[in-house]
Chain A
Amino acid sequence: MKRSRFIFLAILIMAGCTPPKEKGRANGRALSTQVKFAEKFTVEKDDIIVKEPWPGAVAPISYSPDTPPQRVVVTSTTHLAYLEMLGVEDRIVGFPSTQYISSPVIRKLVDEGKITDLGPDGSMNLELLISLAPDAVFAFDMGSESTILDKIEESGIPVIYNADFLETSSLGRAEWLKFFGAFFDKEKEADSIFTSVVQRYDSLKTLAATVENKPTIVSGVMYGDTWFLPGGQNWAAEFYQDAGGQYLWENDSTSGWLEISFESVFEKAGEADFWIGTSTFNTKSELAGQDTRYTHFGAFKEDRVYNYNKRLGPTGGYDFFESAYTRPDRVLADLIFILHPELLPDYDTYYFQKLP
């Protein structure tokens, strides 16, 4: 009886049905990381637990990091930024679609051939990946990547699921630096960098909280005849609020993106003070060229249109999407400078610039 129960359990484990999954249980290193803002991962004793490894996942996955990995493959540009901040970018051996990397440090590694291009995102060249013999693959699964990730695991290479993109707060997302710190045995470094980011963010937020007039903000652009803009609980909406602005959709309850008809946007935001975030449009004439009706917006007429395109990589990638998640303080400072330049007299924006 006992024996058959054991076999049943073993089958369950093999089938991957027992929550939580446990990996590298054997001899985990003791961890000291404390998580404050992030909601999707936590650290307990020698375990790192990803609470929601992919959207809608019910079972957490826990990892027990042992010796820090020396050769890793990462799959998202945001991972690159975390590793670069921790100073372990030289351990990256492979990345999908390297042409879109904009960080100069990592670009250099690509150009020197130290990082192998694994082919297009979402359909990486598995044989190439295995031949690199990485110690671990840091991956994300937005719902469609699971088959290829399962194959990597089958081949014996551990896959570590990152869910930083599921965080709803900007500091929570930035805190995933500690997740990488725990794996690479850089917990102290991660903690001190993150603490200083939090401190700067908090002091900027306090500074902006003093303003009385809060300019109104509209965001996003139209695709077809539908305007895509961040929901009221989106990462971006929080920034606008903390920077002393009034995002016109801040009362909305969506954390993703809203798809709204042009006339609704125009009715609400036709006279908005600022238009921040114009996707791939880098000049006002490009905007007008796409749709002349953009020119009727007050922010457009009064030249208050901004985009996050100040730092473009040599191949056209937006550094904003690569490193901004790790440095919310920089994003906040940029936005405060745009909305209330008098608060940061000698500042120059890092990511954002006014559309010429």
Chain B
Amino acid sequence: MITQFLEASQKKWTKVLIGLAVALVLCFLVNVALGSVTIPLSNLLSFITSGNSGQPSWDMILSNFRLPKAITAVLVGSALGVSGLQMQTLFRNPLAGPYILGISSGAGLGVAIAIFLGFYLGGFLELSGIGRSWLLVASAGAGSFLVLLIISLAATRLKDSITLLIIGLMFGAAAGALVSILQFFSQAENIQAYVIWSFGSLGSLSWSELYVFIPVILIGLIGSVLLSKPLNTLLLGENYAVSLGLNIKKIRLLIIINTAILAGTVTAFCGPIAFFGVALPHLTRMLFNTSNHLLLTPLIILFGSALMLIFDFIAQLPGMEATLPINAVTALFGAPFVIYILLRKKNLNYAYQS
């Protein structure tokens, strides 16, 4: 009879997930269809059916700009949401997010070094034929990998997750300080380039980068689905998790690596996109009223993707030439949304226990 409950809820959640998937596809189509340049619906349809919109510049915009950007938005939205969720559960801290362990600070440091010392690397780059975009990706990746390495070493030594959190925060602060020192001694143009990188962007990835970005993020997302079950045991607290046979050190390391892959890759390719990864898990938990990771992980992947597509859509200001930085949009539109949900739900329990 209890099984009936389980089956009923299974049916209900399957419906919710299918609904979300449909919404995601719609968001994707709207995102691709609308942008600064207005492309008539008939041309769009002919592009979808025959790959030819009737105007070469529109073909180019659709296939080389809007499509990559929409795909990037989907992957970034799900990756940041899922890694934020993992950090919040692992550290039992509602303020944790994908960058809590200093991953974006590490990436930022790598990028700062690349940009500010870029002059010395110029010659090397021309010799090796590496493009500048890959240099940024490589340096951001190296920065976050370095942070990951240090945090992982600490994780294998430490029993206490909260201490790890503090180490992450300290590391982030130190990396931030190094970046400011580098900025202090740098030219205005380079500082501007760094500042613009730190705004984050979804549209800077072309297909050549997507060929790397897509598989890496997919691996991370699969990892996060696999980690849902051990994450659920952590909902009871670490002591209970251990009593259920969880190897806490191993799982903690896997979660950290998984988050670092997701958040590190996103930061490497798109810059640090703030707020989203912290807010999305809360938003999803509140809207769907569950903390069960077996449900939350797929919910966040679908909902996060759709939301990021919507945010990107807002950032493009359809019909206008100017664009807003994605970072500004996520926080500007995300924060009031979270506050609204909090006030509407009036669920004080939620405020203290996620």
A–B contact, 8 Å CB criterion (strictly below): yes
Residues in chain A within 8 A of chain B (CB atoms): 97, 100, 120-121, 123, 222-226, 258-264, 266-267, 270-271, 279-280, 283, 285-286, 288-293, 296, 316
What CA separation (Å) do A226 and B326 show in the bound complex?
A: 11
Question: Are B196 and A296 in contact, with the CB atoms below 8 A?
Answer: no
Question: Are B207 and A292 in contact, with the CB atoms below 8 A?
Answer: yes
Question: Are A289 and B131 in contact, with the CB atoms below 8 A?
Answer: yes
Complex A-B: 7 CB contacts under 8 Å = A121-B187, A225-B202, A225-B204, A226-B201, A267-B57, A270-B60, A296-B60
Known: A258-B321, A290-B131. A224 touches B199 (CB 8 A): yes
Question: Are B203 and A262 in contact, with the CB atoms below 8 A?
Answer: yes
Question: Are B189 and A280 in contact, with the CB atoms below 8 A?
Answer: yes
CB-defined contacts of B187 to chain A, threshold 8 Å: 97, 100, 121
Contacting residue for A293 out of B35, B65, B186, CB 8 A: B65
Question: Are A290 and B202 in contact, with the CB atoms below 8 A?
Answer: no
Question: Are B130 and A259 in contact, with the CB atoms below 8 A?
Answer: no
Residues in chain B within 8 A of chain A (CB atoms): 35-37, 57-58, 60-61, 64-66, 69, 119, 125-126, 129-134, 184-189, 192-193, 196-197, 199-204, 206-208, 271, 316, 321-323, 325
Name A289's closest neighbour in chain B (CB-CB).
Answer: B131
Known pairs A224-B197, A286-B126, A296-B64 / 15 extra A-B pairs, C-beta < 8 Å: A222-B204, A223-B197, A224-B204, A224-B271, A225-B202, A225-B203, A226-B323, A258-B322, A259-B322, A267-B37, A270-B60, A286-B132, A289-B134, A290-B131, A293-B64
Kindly provide the distance from the CB of A266 to the nearest chain B CB, expressed in whole angstroms. 6
Question: Are A224 and B201 in contact, with the CB atoms below 8 A?
Answer: yes
Would you list the 4 A-B pairs with minimal beta carbon distance, nearest first? A289-B131, A225-B203, A224-B201, A225-B201
CB-defined contacts of A286 to chain B, threshold 8 Å: 125-126, 131-132
What CA separation (Å) do A286 and B129 show in the bound complex?
A: 9
CB-defined contacts of A296 to chain B, threshold 8 Å: 60, 64
Give the dominant DSSP class at B's interface. helix
Question: Are B197 and A289 in contact, with the CB atoms below 8 A?
Answer: no
CB-defined contacts of A97 to chain B, threshold 8 Å: 187
Kindly provide the distance from the CB of B326 to the nearest chain A CB, expressed in whole angstroms. 8
Kindly provide the distance from the CB of A271 to the nearest chain B CB, expressed in whole angstroms. 8
Contacting residue for A120 out of B66, B126, B133, B184, CB 8 A: B184
CB-defined contacts of A224 to chain B, threshold 8 Å: 196-197, 199-201, 203-204, 271, 325
Contacting residue for A261 out of B126, B131, B208, B321, CB 8 A: B321
Kindly provide the distance from the CB of A302 to the nearest chain B CB, expressed in whole angstroms. 15
CB-defined contacts of B61 to chain A, threshold 8 Å: 263, 266-267
Known: A223-B193, A286-B131, A289-B132. A264 touches B36 (CB 8 A): yes
Kindly provide the distance from the CB of A173 to the nearest chain B CB, expressed in whole angstroms. 18
Kindly provide the distance from the CB of B272 to the nearest chain A CB, expressed in whole angstroms. 12
What CA separation (Å) do A224 and B37 show in the bound complex?
A: 19
Question: Are A283 and B126 in contact, with the CB atoms below 8 A?
Answer: yes
CB-defined contacts of B196 to chain A, threshold 8 Å: 223-224, 226
Contacting residue for A292 out of B58, B130, B186, B208, CB 8 A: B208
Name B200's closest neighbour in chain A (CB-CB).
Answer: A224
Question: Are A263 and B35 in contact, with the CB atoms below 8 A?
Answer: yes
Kindly provide the distance from the CB of B140 to the nearest chain A CB, expressed in whole angstroms. 13
Known: A293-B206, A296-B64. A264 touches B189 (CB 8 A): no
What CA separation (Å) do A261 and B313 show in the bound complex?
A: 12
Question: Are A290 and B200 in contact, with the CB atoms below 8 A?
Answer: no
What CA separation (Å) do A258 and B321 show in the bound complex?
A: 9
CB-defined contacts of B200 to chain A, threshold 8 Å: 224
Question: Are A270 and B321 in contact, with the CB atoms below 8 A?
Answer: no
CB-defined contacts of A120 to chain B, threshold 8 Å: 184-186
Name B132's closest neighbour in chain A (CB-CB).
Answer: A290
Kindly provide the distance from the CB of B327 to the nearest chain A CB, expressed in whole angstroms. 10
CB-defined contacts of A288 to chain B, threshold 8 Å: 131
Question: Are B64 and A261 in contact, with the CB atoms below 8 A?
Answer: no
CB-defined contacts of A226 to chain B, threshold 8 Å: 196, 201, 323, 325
Known: A120-B185, A296-B60. A261 touches B130 (CB 8 A): no
Known: A225-B201, A266-B57, A270-B60. A291 touches B321 (CB 8 A): no
CB-defined contacts of A225 to chain B, threshold 8 Å: 69, 201-204, 323
Question: Are B66 and A263 in contact, with the CB atoms below 8 A?
Answer: yes
Name A265's closest neighbour in chain B (CB-CB).
Answer: B321
Contacting residue for B119 out of A121, A262, A316, CB 8 A: A316
Contacting residue for B322 out of A261, A270, A316, CB 8 A: A261
Kindly provide the distance from the CB of B305 to the nearest chain A CB, expressed in whole angstroms. 18
What CA separation (Å) do A226 and B193 show in the bound complex?
A: 12
Question: Are B184 and A123 in contact, with the CB atoms below 8 A?
Answer: yes
CB-defined contacts of A121 to chain B, threshold 8 Å: 187-188
CB-defined contacts of B207 to chain A, threshold 8 Å: 292
Name B317's closest neighbour in chain A (CB-CB).
Answer: A261
Kindly provide the distance from the CB of A260 to the nearest chain B CB, expressed in whole angstroms. 5
CB-defined contacts of B133 to chain A, threshold 8 Å: 289-291
Known: A222-B204, A223-B196, A224-B201. A264 touches B321 (CB 8 A): yes
What CA separation (Å) do A223 and B203 show in the bound complex?
A: 10
Kindly provide the distance from the CB of A96 to the nearest chain B CB, expressed in whole angstroms. 11
Question: Are B322 and A260 in contact, with the CB atoms below 8 A?
Answer: yes
What CA separation (Å) do A6 and B323 show in the bound complex?
A: 55
Kindly provide the distance from the CB of B284 to the nearest chain A CB, expressed in whole angstroms. 26
Question: Are A260 and B69 in contact, with the CB atoms below 8 A?
Answer: no
Name B118's closest neighbour in chain A (CB-CB).
Answer: A280
CB-defined contacts of B189 to chain A, threshold 8 Å: 279-280
What CA separation (Å) do A263 and B186 show in the bound complex?
A: 32
Question: Are B323 and A260 in contact, with the CB atoms below 8 A?
Answer: yes
CB-defined contacts of A266 to chain B, threshold 8 Å: 37, 57, 60-61, 65
Name B323's closest neighbour in chain A (CB-CB).
Answer: A261
